[in-house]
Amino acid sequence: MRQNDELQLDKFDTKTFQKELLGWFEAEQRDLPWRKDQDPYKVWVSEIMLQQTRVDTVIPYFHRFIEKFPTIKDLAEAEEDSVLKAWEGLGYYSRARNLQTAVKEVHEKYDGVVPNTLNEISKLKGVGPYTAGAILSIAYDVPEPAVDGNVMRVMSRILTIWDDIAKPSSRKVFEKAIRALISHENPSYFNQAVMELGALICTPTSPSCLLCPVREHCQAFAEGVQTELPVKTKKKSTKKVKLGAVILKDKEGNVLLHKRPSEGLLANLWEFPNCEISSLRYGKKQVEAYIKEEYNIDATIENGILTKIDHVFSHLTWNVEVYIGEVHHFAQQEDLRAISAQQLEEEYALPVSHQKMWKYYNEGKQS
């Protein structure tokens, strides 16, 4: 079908499609830690972690997170810094803070029971249309669509849907398709099966159509256009930002850390004092002026850079010059602390870019 056409499902063998897809999933599904049971809390945590993040990356984080926060009550009562520390390196850190905000609401408003209605669960922080459908279907067996990138890729090929999946408005087209095809006998497995098919068989670049359990139902395979779907417009390139950062120690060997603002990039994570600089040539002078004026830090920064760190985010690139120095005096503040190296590593969540600086500082290794 072309864009804006109606879905053509009158000749689609829905029952056979469900049977073959579910049969494949029951035989081939991966043994994942969040599939041990249907605990809504664990399903919830896994779905938040899996947003824009690979399964292999999530697995060790999921184990550690559940071990540290086994129940909704444990997470609700935890310090935010400890939650961010458990999330350190996983990215998109607002996921962790929104998750704890929502868990607190469930703990207080719903007596620790994750709500099982679309209306209630959709109001929770960090729970959008996909995650709402995922929790409802996977944990509560509610036949609600859970449309993620996998589902859009798979269904665009099955039904030759040519809508641009990069457009937010396209999601409703796929929700409509899933509503028409979802198994009401086992919506949990159905939604997971579509995603699993996308992850294992119906992959973005070279789908394994000869291994696909539902290729007889696939309109794109029948027409030989599976590699042309889904349609997805590409985003523009990233901008570059030059930073100067400084690792400062006091006479006792404690390290100075600054807590980032509560909104925006890497919100509430800790970092070495740094600022944007107009020129790498004058980086040291600008960092010196910044820490003196903004934080009233009396320090000596050594001449010459320790190293340069390039860090690529999804929408921008940092080019960081790293300096070292000694603190003589500063005013202790909520967002500025001198801590031991051990505390830094065990309690304070740093962005990966600053972890790289710390690693280089201690080991002199390039990365």
Partner DNA sequence: TATTCGTGGGT
Partner DNA sequence: TACCCAAGAAT
Q: Which of the stretches 148-156, 249-257, 295-303, 340-348 binds DNA when contact is defined by CB under 7 A?
A: 148-156
For residues 260 and 273, what is the distance between their CA atoms, to the nearest angstrom? 10
Question: What one-character DSSP code corresponds to residue 169?
Answer: G
Q: Which of the stretches 75-83, 196-204, 321-329, 339-347 binds DNA when contact is defined by CB under 7 A?
A: 196-204
> Is residue 145 at the binding interface for DNA, with CB under 7 A as the rule?
no
Q: Pull the structure tokens for residue 137.
A: 């279907």
Binding-residue total with DNA (CB under 7 A): 60
Closest CA to 194 of 137, 264, 140: 137
What residues from 312 to 351 belong to the interface with DNA (CB under 7 A)?
Answer: 312-316, 351
> Is residue 53 at the binding interface for DNA, with CB under 7 A as the rule?
yes
Least gap, CB of 142 to DNA (angstroms): 15
Q: Please state, in angstroms and as integers, the Cα–Cα distance from residue 1 to each residue in 4, 159, 291, following that order.
A: 8, 8, 60
> Is residue 267 at the binding interface for DNA, with CB under 7 A as the rule?
yes
Least gap, CB of 290 to DNA (angstroms): 20
301 and 284 Cβ atoms separated by less than 8 Å: yes
Least gap, CB of 267 to DNA (angstroms): 6
Render 280-306 in DSSP notation, one character per residue: GGGHHHHHHHHHHHHH--EEEEPSS-S
> Is residue 94 at the binding interface for DNA, with CB under 7 A as the rule?
yes
Of residues 59, 78, 199, 241, which one binds DNA by CB under 7 A? 199
> Is residue 174 at the binding interface for DNA, with CB under 7 A as the rule?
no
Least gap, CB of 303 to DNA (angstroms): 28
> Is residue 59 at the binding interface for DNA, with CB under 7 A as the rule?
no
Of residues 156, 160, 286, 353, which one binds DNA by CB under 7 A? 353
Cβ burial, residue 281 (10 Å; 0-12/13-18/19+): exposed
> Is residue 271 at the binding interface for DNA, with CB under 7 A as the rule?
no
96 and 280 Cβ atoms separated by less than 8 Å: no
Active site residue 6: no
Of residues 45, 50, 106, 257, which one binds DNA by CB under 7 A? 50
14 and 185 Cβ atoms separated by less than 8 Å: no
For residues 109 and 102, what is the distance between their CA atoms, to the nearest angstrom? 10
Of residues 103, 114, 121, 127, which one binds DNA by CB under 7 A? 127
Closest CA to 269 of 165, 350, 330, 208: 350
Question: What one-character DSSP code corresponds to residue 335?
Answer: T
Of residues 168, 224, 253, 304, which one binds DNA by CB under 7 A? 168
For residues 21 and 185, what is the distance between their CA atoms, to the nearest angstrom? 13
Spot the catalytic one: 47, 88, 175, 288. Answer: 47
Provide the annotated active-site residues: 47
